[in-house]
Structure 1
């Protein structure tokens, strides 16, 4: 009875094409799986293709003249090593400077201004500066200023805060705003504490300029700033010498 029912179902499925469709689907899957296996990394077809490519490319690559590219690569490697060495040298130099103890107990605002002026003369951007040919040639001077911005403190506050501003009109990269503070009850009325940004990670040392290193050292040593002036102005001639061009 059961066998007859099974025969009837199979017969009907054969007649309506269901069995044929299922067989076709499975055959298609089998073919796809077989092809996938052949084209895998260790498949037979992949190995045949790999052998053919090797037989063509390897002799061509062996005979090719790479001398031109070796020269270019050598130049690139030298530039990379040079730049890396310069960055590391700057980082090591700044690390050494920060580790050296600052023995000055005090520094005058006018002295700090003079040090900064020398920094400006050495590092200021000379782009767009006119050239003076009278004694030179030299670049035209840039105007620099020292000012102190005093905060409006509450009368009951024990501290007075201000910013010592060092400003170069021509090059904003030279500018500094140095936070300073003064304890009102301190008997030495004219002495202020200097605050400076601290190093957050060692890699940042390669990007810190010489003047900021000085400010960090003064801060670490607790060097006091004597406010012998709160306003200065000067014209600084850049150290960089322009190429002379006469018309």
Structure 2
């Protein structure tokens, strides 16, 4: 009984001097802290709620934000980087810079796209194997034939979309050829088609992009509408490259 009385006396004194209350308070504080750590952790319930609310506010804001000021700054940074980099990386950064520029065209006609491509062909077409003309005094390479053709997919009766492939082909040089998928939604204006084109498979492939590919990608990213004013066209293009004169 003396031991029991001693225990009671100790507990009584600890209650009176507040020691037990302090211990309870410390443990309660630890329990609350642990609970909050769990709730606010990576997979906690409160974290999920906060994340959902932040997304609902930030994503619409970021989508509408005008990044033009930052594109100017980015351009300046890339210019500095380009001064001290290798040719391959320089080409990749140049293409990246072009892709970052916003495309302000809301619509583009198929005939306009064909004209842009024909100028690209004239500048870049392979001239090996072409005959040289001397009719006008100055030697020029013979014409190369180019065509635009749209191949329409069979439309399913239950679908609201019509799909097609727009093919740009150069008979002499198949490296000039391009094919892009286009689609038309029934509720869109007549002859307005969406462009789908993306030739970048990884960051390294950006160094191999040409100017016309970059244009197609920018039109696709900007959701520029393609006005189908033509779905078949052909022309003959004179290469810009000048052959060396030979009057043998």
Q: TM-score range by the shorter chain?
A: 0.5 to 0.7
- In 2, Cα distance between the equivalents of 1:125 and 1:153? 38
Which residue matches 1:164? Answer: 166
- The offset of 1:203, in angstroms, is 1.5
Q: Mapping of 1:37-48 within 5 angstroms?
A: none
Please give the TM-score of this superposition, normalised by the length of structure 1.
0.64
Runs (4+) of structure 1 moved beyond 6 Å? Answer: none
Which residue matches 1:116? Answer: 117
- Contact 2:199–2:213, Cα closer than 8 Å, also in 1: no
Q: 1:8-60, CA deviations, whole angstroms, 9 ceiling, x for partnerless residues? A: xxxxxxxxxxxxxxxxxxxxxxxxxxxxxxxxxxxxxxxxxxxxxxxxxxxxx
- In 1, Cα distance between the equivalents of 2:119 and 2:87? 23
Q: 1:127-148, CA deviations, whole angstroms, 9 ceiling, x for partnerless residues? A: 1000011232110010000110
Give the paired residue count. Answer: 163
SS of the equivalent of 2:86 reads: helix
Structure 2 residue ranges without an equivalent (≥5): 1-84
SS of the equivalent of 2:215 reads: helix
- The offset of 1:87, in angstroms, is 1.6
SS of the equivalent of 2:204 reads: helix
SS of the equivalent of 1:104 reads: coil
Which residue matches 1:211? Answer: 212
- The offset of 1:85, in angstroms, is 2.9
Structure 1 residue ranges without an equivalent (≥5): 1-83
- In 2, Cα distance between the equivalents of 1:198 and 1:238? 26
- The offset of 1:190, in angstroms, is 1.2
Which residue matches 1:44? Answer: none
Whichever of the two has the greater Rg, that structure is 1
SS of the equivalent of 2:207 reads: helix
Please give the TM-score of this superposition, normalised by the length of structure 2.
0.64
SS of the equivalent of 1:234 reads: strand
- The offset of 1:198, in angstroms, is 4.6
